Structure 1
Amino acid sequence: MDIEPVEAAPAQAFPRAVLRQRWDDLTFLHWAVAPELVAPMLPAGTRPDTLDGVSYVGLIGFRMVGLGLGGGPGVPYFGTFAETNVRLYSVDGTGRRAVVFRSLDASRLVPVLVARATLRLPYMWSAMRLERDGDRYTYRCRRRWPGPVGAASRMVVRVGEPIADPTPLEHFVTARWGLHTRAHGRTLHLPNWHPRWPLHRARLLHLDDELVAAAGLPAPVGAPASVLYSPGVPVRFGPPVSLRRARPAQVRQSA
């Protein structure tokens, strides 16, 4: 099986977007994890993606802005909210690299219910807040529903300089052009497109997290392998494709 390369620049945009949104003020924390530990947590037809034999678990906090359908405007009020997700990294039988979400905590109930019903994404309704004080960002989350109720996270980072030349690990955990999910008896791949990430170095000042453990993964121990910040990007999602109907991926040249 040919696996598509990890490309920092996006592939050609697909002609029809089913969802549009913007991701702002993102902080990415990542820890190494054994592939055999996370393999049972991935959808059928996928396996852990690895870099030098290691996979990663990510804790990502950000603001979702202007979520809307197709080419239409963002949904007022319900389309903008804070979010924190726990994710893993996957590759499928066609060679597509993607992310798999173990949990997605969001501060608006309606998007949570819609995403759970349609794509079976593990969205959770939570009380959340994102605060900025100069170059310092604080992400707070406390889960309301469905559970474990009260699971909380607080992370504080200080943003540093822009990254001109990201490392292979920094590309691996950010340059992802799709997600895998299991819905209605099928494993689906949802492609996404956005400009190349504008990444910054960041320093983790404080972390008190229960979301990773609540997602069935070992609680973070020690310093993350990677701490990154991005001011954000506009994003489009294409229509989902069942892996049973997906064509093998053609290997693209690295950027």
Structure 2
Amino acid sequence: MTVTPFAPQLTGPWIMSQTWADLTFVHWAVDPERVAPLMPAGTRPDVLDGATYVGLIPFVMRRAGLGRGPAIPWFGDFLETNVRLYSVDDDGRHGVVFRSLETNRLAVALGARLSFATPYTWARMSLHREGDVLDYRTRRRWPSPRGAVSRITVRRGRVIAEPDDLSVFVSARFGLHTRHLGRTWWVPNTHAPWGLRGGELLHLDDDLVAAAGLPGVTAGAPASVMVADPVHTTFGVPRLVRERG
């Protein structure tokens, strides 16, 4: 495994910044061949010990803003739940591939789709906190499948002092791969090392992973459940990915 838990410094201008809070990682191991057809051209599934992973990740977005400017009032704070895969390109750049990103801000969903083809969806969402228990709920409004739901209830556990290889693999992803304007792009990002805690999954009822093209994945027990402390992250300028052929 070549993914590092420590992010490189960004070079060049920032395109946006944001804080991720109340974030839970839930992951399932899958055969890389199953997700390979879902990868953007020029990338392939990133693999750890012969497996790759599907992530279901709810959290709170805070103080999102453009460039080095201030956070966007109201629109910069929202709930999100994403379904993501893990990618690497021929230049060795590791990243994530988003299959869907639920948000409770319609303007965010529309803006992200129009500006960079990021597959945001609009949903009715809530997060309830009670002590160490976090209860995330979402029901999709647009686009189809309308009514797709997800409920994740997790209990925050002890600090993970020494993250294992899997914990690093799914959390230390300092970039994303996406398809836009007929080309594949890698968008770098950086943030301080995650503060990770163990998580106990108390309840899961999810349609989002199946709606993202991976039916049956959430029927099995997850390989990893973690809760993360907040981090502030910044994104750099997108870079083209070399495509074979």
TM-score range, shorter chain: over 0.9
Correspondences of 1:180-195 after superposition (within 5 Å): 180-195=177-192
The equivalent residue for 2:127 is 130
**Correspondences of 1:202-213 after superposition (within 5 Å):** 202-213=199-210
Identity among equivalent positions (%) equals 56
3-state SS of 2:166 partner? helix
RMSD between superposed Cα atoms in Å: 1.1
1:114 is displaced (CA, Å) by 1.0
Could you tell me how far 1:9 is from its partner in structure 2?
1.1
Q: Which amino acid aligns with 1:84?
A: T
Contact 2:191/2:232, CA 8 A, preserved across alignment? yes
Scaled by the length of structure 1, what TM-score is found? 0.93
In the alignment, the residues of structure 2 paired with residue 17 and residue 98 of structure 1 have an alpha-carbon distance, to the nearest angstrom, of 18
* Cα deviation 1:18-66 (Å, max 9, x = unaligned): 1010000100000011100100001000000000110000000000001
Instruction: Indicate the SS of the match to 2:33.
Output: helix
1:237 counterpart residue number: 235
Shift of 1:164: 0.5
**Could you say which residue in structure 1 is the equivalent of 2:149?**
152
Q: Normalising by the residue count of structure 2, what TM-score does the alignment of the two structures yield?
A: 0.97
**What amino acid is the match of 1:87?**
R
SS across alignment from 1:173 = helix
Tell me which of 174, 189, 192 is aligned to 2:171: 174
What's the offset of the Cα at 1:168?
0.2
Instruction: Map 1:1-255 onto structure 2 (within 5 A).
Output: 5-219=2-216, 220-244=218-242
68-77 or 5-14: bigger deviation: 5-14
Distance 1:231 1:167 in 2: 17
AA of the residue aligned to 1:73? P
Unaligned runs of 5+ in 2: none
Aligned-pair CA distance for 1:92: 0.5
1:95 Cα deviation from its structure 2 partner: 0.7
3-state SS of paired residue (1:100): strand
1:92-142 per-position Cα deviation (integer Å, ceiling 9, x unaligned): 011101000000000101111111011111100000011100000001000
Partners of 1:172 and 1:185 lie apart in 2 by 29
Kindly tell me the number of residue pairs found equivalent between the two proteins.
Answer: 242
**C-alpha deviations, 1:215-239, integer Å up to 9, x for none?**
0102312221000001210010001
